[in-house]
Structure formats: structure tokens, C-alpha cells
Structure 1
């Protein structure tokens, strides 16, 4: 199954992004088989990130929850909230390159 996961960041914890970005990117890279797409969300291109969006392939919601809880951004307190939604991809035969 595919899941869309939206994270909202704590505005008071922006330093975590700077301090742990390399660890976060390494963590994501080690999980590329499951985390199909990941990236920060901003209101405008030059704004500070306000959160993130991931597309994850997992057997169920519990597997998604256990995955993100080991992300350095979560471990070090940057994330305020997480929303997990099952995602039904339109045109499943189309492989989208980003």
C-alpha cells in the first residue's frame, strides 16, 4: 500500500534541521526501498520549511508509524505532528519521475 505522510514542524525547533540534516538524509537514503518520495514543504520557495511530505510504501499504517519514529528529525524533537493517509495513485501503470 502507498501512504502520504505529512509532517508539521515546530517553529521553535528549526535548529534541529540544521544540526541533523546530514543524519536525516543518510537515514532517508537507507530507507529508499520504502520511502519513495520525500521533501520539505514551504509556503514560498525562499521560506523556511514548515514540514515535509513523504510517499511511503508499506504493508499497513503501523509499519509507517514505526518507520518515521526513528528519523533523526523526529527523535530530536523537530516534528510537531504527523498525518498518515492511505494514498490511491491515479494511473497506477504510470511511473512518475520527479
Structure 2
């Protein structure tokens, strides 16, 4: 099952995001086929201020474990994290 992980950064934490980014990227790359896509949300100045990560996981609990292991989460970057089951209907490359 797919899960969308929606993360909002804490205010004024851009430097923490930038400092942690290399380990975050390494973590995402390490997810292999579990990672479907990911990228930052942007503020009005085109600076990252959150994340959208879509993963495949066996359950909500497994998705929560993966999200909690993200170096951004471990570093305390996020103000909030929402994890929701998601159905990729349109432009899903695996459905082609």
C-alpha cells in the first residue's frame, strides 16, 4: 500500500534542513523500491519548508516507522507530520 508522508518544517529551521539534507538524501536513496517519489514544499521565496514523501509500506505502522527514521524527523525539523494511505491513480508509471 502507498502512503503519503506530509511534513511541515518548524519556522526558521531552514539551516537545520540544509545541514541535515545529505543524510536525508542518503536515507531516501536507501529505501530503494519502497520510495515512489519525494520532494520539498516551497515557501513564497522558493525556499524549502516541508516535504512530501510517498512510500510503499505494509501498514500504517510500518509507514510511521519509516517516517520516524528520516534524518529530518530525527533532527527535529518538522512541526507536524501527517501520514495517509494514498491511491496513485493518474500517471502512475507502474500502471502503464
Whether the TM-score (by the shorter chain) exceeds 0.5 is yes
Alignment of 1:20 with 2:20, yes or no, is yes
Aligned to 1:62: 61
Q: How far has the Cα of 1:55 moved from its partner? A: 0.9
Q: Is the 8 A contact 1:16 1:78 kept in 2?
A: yes
Q: How far has the Cα of 1:67 moved from its partner? A: 0.5
2:93 aligned residue (54, 77, 95): 95
Distance 1:65 1:50 in 2: 20
Q: How far has the Cα of 1:81 moved from its partner? A: 0.7
Q: Secondary structure at the match of 2:89?
A: coil
- TM-score (norm. length: structure 2): 0.86
Q: Is the 8 A contact 1:9 1:78 kept in 2?
A: yes
Q: Is the 8 A contact 1:13 1:77 kept in 2?
A: no
Aligned to 2:2: 2
Please identify which structure carries the higher helix content.
Answer: 2
Q: Secondary structure at the match of 1:51?
A: strand
User: What 5-or-longer segments of structure 2 have no aligned partner?
Assistant: none
Q: Secondary structure at the match of 1:50?
A: strand
User: What 5-or-longer segments of structure 1 have no aligned partner?
Assistant: none
Moved over 6 A (4+): none
Distance 1:37 1:63 in 2: 17
1:15-94 alignment, distance < 5 Å: 15-44=15-44, 46-90=45-89, 94=92
Aligned-residue RMSD, C-alpha:
1.8
